[in-house]
Amino acid sequence: MIDKIFGVVQHHNAPDIHLNVGLPPVVRIAGKLKTLPADPLTAEQTEEMMRTVTPPRCQVELSERGSTDFAFTHNDNRYRIAAFRQLGVICIVMRSLRQVTFSVDDLHIPHEVCDTILRGHGLFLVTGPTGSGKTTTLASLC
């Protein structure tokens, strides 16, 4: 089942996947959440999908803390995955990570920011809503 979901995500270039017990899989396409034409997920199905993508150390963390975050690669596509317990069942949220890294110039980041980063001390906060480019910005600065 998880392979079918990844296939839909890749076909539609959907950045987000939400898997919740009692609901069909939900993906974000063109900025809007869309329910996939499928039966609602069972607790057993979400548990199976979690075990398919989650490394053993993260499964231990999930059982001990109730949540875990990790990266996963499927067919050369990377995902940031959060698995957590909600109302006693497993929920999974996956975000597709772009393979393209942009340069500082591509993102129009002022050169003064780069100069400041090279000083080796200080604090930078990169904030914003989901999908606003925080991870992309940080990747360009490394």
Under the banding of pLDDT at 50, 70 and 90, the label for residue 142 is low
The predicted-structure confidence for 86-95, as pLDDT tens digits, reads as follows 999 999 999 9
**36 pLDDT more than 80:** yes
What's at 4, amino acid-wise? K
Beta strands in the chain, from DSSP E residues, in sequence order: 16-19, 26-29, 32-35, 67-74, 77-86, 89-97
Under the banding of pLDDT at 50, 70 and 90, the label for residue 117 is confident
Q: Give the separation between CA 33 and CA 8, rounded to whole angstroms.
A: 14
Mean pLDDT, the chain, integer: 88
User: Which residue has better confidence, 138 or 127?
Assistant: 127
Distances (CA, A) of 140 to 26, 73, 100, 136: 30, 21, 10, 6
Q: What is the mean pLDDT of residues 8-18?
A: 85
